[in-house]
Chain A
């Protein structure tokens, strides 16, 4: 009889003790994944797009934080940089969590000997073959009032459960796979779907255009331009924004005027002819 003693990591066979080296599972993982920090984090193969996505998130946020946030902290409201910092940290950690966690990979070899469909028809090309005895049968399951076929995955040697899919980039079957995201260099599956949604929502909230839009909205609602606001803050004694003659008094009227006023024609006459100047 054969025993595996996991406490002393030995395989004991017929009363003899044979020390066999045991390694952590991630070092022998058959899929196309990269592991780091001793197997605590995992991602897929091509990480260049993820580095690009990180740079696209971090660089503008850091620039915004250095150059614009002090102004906003002093002149607009201190809550805005705090919210910005919180959203930045949340989107960064969500991106990293989506990229570096297991999406729900199904381990291999759970069904290594499936029942094969035998070909009895003598005209079939498979009937005399010694290697090809048939393909694995497909299993039928019922889901509510519908029928669904479970297909056999030859690479992972399992019957794939419903909503699972085999990812070609990662070479794994993933439970409830949504898609493979190259920007996060990982499959999006059941285990990292929530941080994925959180990452894209937070990035949208965070975008500089979003912040800038709010800033410009506040200008529009008061009927002033950016220059007027900046000059007003520099020369606080001499200028008073509430006496702005262009303010119609009603924010909705201000916004309507700014966004819906007619657009004058260009003064440049670009396609008309003039004598050449030598």
Chain B
């Protein structure tokens, strides 16, 4: 049964420049940016944990440093192999992959906290200055992108 979210919207055959279109307020993360700054990955730790570099000269000062440090800290907590993580994965294997259905894994919780952190930083600080941090999962953690709008 097709629900509203699963059916793609149909295309209308003609373009209709209407005067009565509502001027919608579009969320800043959906706008096309003028400029973007990328913070590259820092592989120097060599332990496979995702980490973004602290060495971008322009942004070292101030809140950018704090944001990047916060993101790095949350990612390290998510990907570090602790006893809790080992327990989660062993239980998932022993219960024939049904464990994550009933119990949220440590990794899922940490990634949720990461996304909340980025959202909060955007809302409280960056959107006011016309900057938005994009979701790093979208770019496969290859870099961290600060989009700039004028």
Give every chain A residue within 8 A of B142 (Cβ-Cβ): 106, 110-111, 158-159, 161
Q: Are A21 and B26 in contact (CB under 8 A)?
A: no
Give every chain A residue within 8 A of B89 (Cβ-Cβ): 194
Q: Are A16 and B93 in contact (CB under 8 A)?
A: no
Tell me the complex Cα distance, A21–B93, Å.
41
Q: Are A161 and B21 in contact (CB under 8 A)?
A: no
Give every chain A residue within 8 A of B9 (Cβ-Cβ): 8-10, 19, 21-22
Q: Are A93 and B26 in contact (CB under 8 A)?
A: no
Give every chain B residue within 8 A of A9 (Cβ-Cβ): 8-9
At the interface with chain B, which of A51-59, A66-74, A138-146, A229-237?
A: A138-146
Separation in Å of the B101 CB from the closest CB of chain A?
13
Kindly state whether residue B16 has any CB partner on chain A within 8 Å: yes
Kindly state whether residue A12 has any CB partner on chain B within 8 Å: yes
How many A residues are at the interface, by size bracket?
A: 35 or more
Kindly state whether residue A177 has any CB partner on chain B within 8 Å: no
Give every chain A residue within 8 A of B56 (Cβ-Cβ): none
How many B residues are at the interface, by size bracket?
A: 20 to 34
Q: A4-B30, A15-B23, A16-B21 are in contact. Are A97 and B11 (CB under 8 A)?
A: no
Residue in A5, A18, A90, A162 whose beta carbon sits within 8 Å of that of B24 in the complex: A5
Give every chain A residue within 8 A of B81 (Cβ-Cβ): none
Tell me the complex Cα distance, A2–B30, Å.
10
Within 8 A of A (CB), among B1-40: 6, 8-12, 15-18, 21, 23-24, 26, 30-32
Kindly state whether residue B87 has any CB partner on chain A within 8 Å: no
Once A and B bind, how many residue pairs between them come within 8 Å at the CB atom? 85
Interface centre among B15, B41, B142 (most CB of A within 10 A): B142
Give every chain B residue within 8 A of A129 (Cβ-Cβ): none
Nearest chain B residue, comparing its CB with the CB of A146? B46
Q: A5-B26, A12-B26 are in contact. Are A17 and B18 (CB under 8 A)?
A: yes
Kindly state whether residue A271 has any CB partner on chain B within 8 Å: no
Q: A142-B43, A142-B44, A198-B93 are in contact. Are A15 and B21 (CB under 8 A)?
A: yes
Q: Are A110 and B44 in contact (CB under 8 A)?
A: no
Kindly state whether residue A3 has any CB partner on chain B within 8 Å: yes
Q: Are B15 and A16 in contact (CB under 8 A)?
A: yes
Nearest chain A residue, comparing its CB with the CB of B31? A3
Give every chain B residue within 8 A of A161 (Cβ-Cβ): 41, 43, 142
Kindly state whether residue B58 has any CB partner on chain A within 8 Å: no
Residue in B6, B15, B140 whose beta carbon sits within 8 Å of that of A110 in the complex: B140
Q: Are B10 and A21 in contact (CB under 8 A)?
A: yes
Kindly state whether residue A114 has any CB partner on chain B within 8 Å: no
Separation in Å of the A246 CB from the closest CB of chain B?
42
Task: Please name 9 pairs of A and B residues whose Cβ atoms are closer than 8 Å in the assembled complex, sorted by A.
Answer: A9-B9, A12-B21, A16-B18, A19-B9, A24-B8, A107-B140, A144-B45, A148-B43, A198-B93
Given contacts A4-B32, A97-B97, A107-B138, 13 further A-B contacts (CB under 8 A): A3-B32, A4-B26, A5-B26, A8-B9, A19-B12, A21-B8, A21-B9, A23-B8, A143-B44, A143-B46, A144-B44, A162-B43, A194-B89
List 10 A-B pairs, minimum CB-CB distance, nearest first. A144-B46, A21-B11, A16-B17, A3-B26, A9-B9, A19-B12, A106-B140, A142-B44, A143-B46, A141-B43
